[in-house]
Structure formats: structure tokens, C-alpha cells
Amino acid sequence: MMKRRICSVTGIGMLVLMFLAGCAGSKERKVSETEIPTPVLRAFKQAHPSADVHEYAEEVEQGKKLYEISFTENGKKMDVLWSADGNVVELEESISTAQLPDGIVETLSKKYGDYKMEETERLSKGDSVFYEVKIESQTSGEEKDYELLFSEDGRLIREAEESDED
């Protein structure tokens, strides 16, 4: 039983590290629709036929060229990262505060007290799901902005204080 639990915790830790490694060091460059590979456009249009595209981008993560399409569909803002062959690598979708798991809401209340929710997103990468939350918090009379990353079970994985320039 203990061995299974250690393996489970180790496995979750590895998934988090892979997710964070994918986020770090990627440089995004805006591109036009004509610069997006045909398999990506075909897969995108099939999966999201009513999407209103805002932006196309190209980025390199871990030596691989990926393509991001930012769009709105059915009132929901989404960013999808695709491999050149048209497979989804990562999906970011805006969600309402009510869609956050209870564990995240509890952590926010305990750790950040009087906070104002600014943005909430569900991030899916493979079988892993994470939640990115941007808040404004009043601590000791001082206002601070944070970008927080949570696991699906509500554990705080990363806390980054945002500066006014962000």
C-alpha cells in the first residue's frame, strides 16, 4: 500500500515537472494563418467549426515547433497548442470560478484571505489537468497580484507574484 502511494506521488510529481518544463523557455512568435501547417488547420477547423480566431502563433518547446491558435467558441476563450501533424499538445480554456475544484477555492481562502479573482483557466496536457488562477490579494494592507498553478486535486504547485509590468 505504501509502495503504491509513493509511486503515485512520484508519478504525479513527474507529470507536474513535465508540464512546467513545457511552459518554461518557450518563445512565442505571432504568425499568419498561411504559416500554420495544413494538418493543424484541418484538425482545428474540424474540432472547432464555429470558432472566431484571435491569433495564430508559433513556438518552440523542448526543441519541437508547435502552433498555438487562440480563439473564442460558444462564448468561451481558448488557446490550443498543436504539433505540426495536427495533434493537440495542450488546451487552455477560460472557466468560471464556480468550475474550480473545491480544494482550490479552500486554498485560496486560507492562504490569500481577501482576494479578487481576475482569471481562471483549465489546462489540459495529455491526461493531466491543471488550473491556472490569477488573483489580486490584499495582505497587510498591501495589494499584490499572483499567478497560481494548482493540480486537479487542489494542491498549489506554483505561486508567482506578478509585477505591474505584466
In this predicted structure, what is the pLDDT of residue 112?
Answer: 86
d(CA 37, CA 78): 19
Residue 14 has pLDDT above 80, yes or no: no
User: Bridge partners of 158?
Assistant: 149
Over residues 114-153, the pLDDT tens digits come to 889 999 999 999 999 999 999 998 766 788 899 999 999 9
Over residues 16-71, the pLDDT tens digits come to 444 444 444 568 999 999 999 999 999 999 999 999 999 999 999 999 999 999 99
d(CA 40, CA 128): 22
What domains, with CATH codes, occur in the chain? 26-93 (3.10.450.360), 97-162 (3.10.450.360)
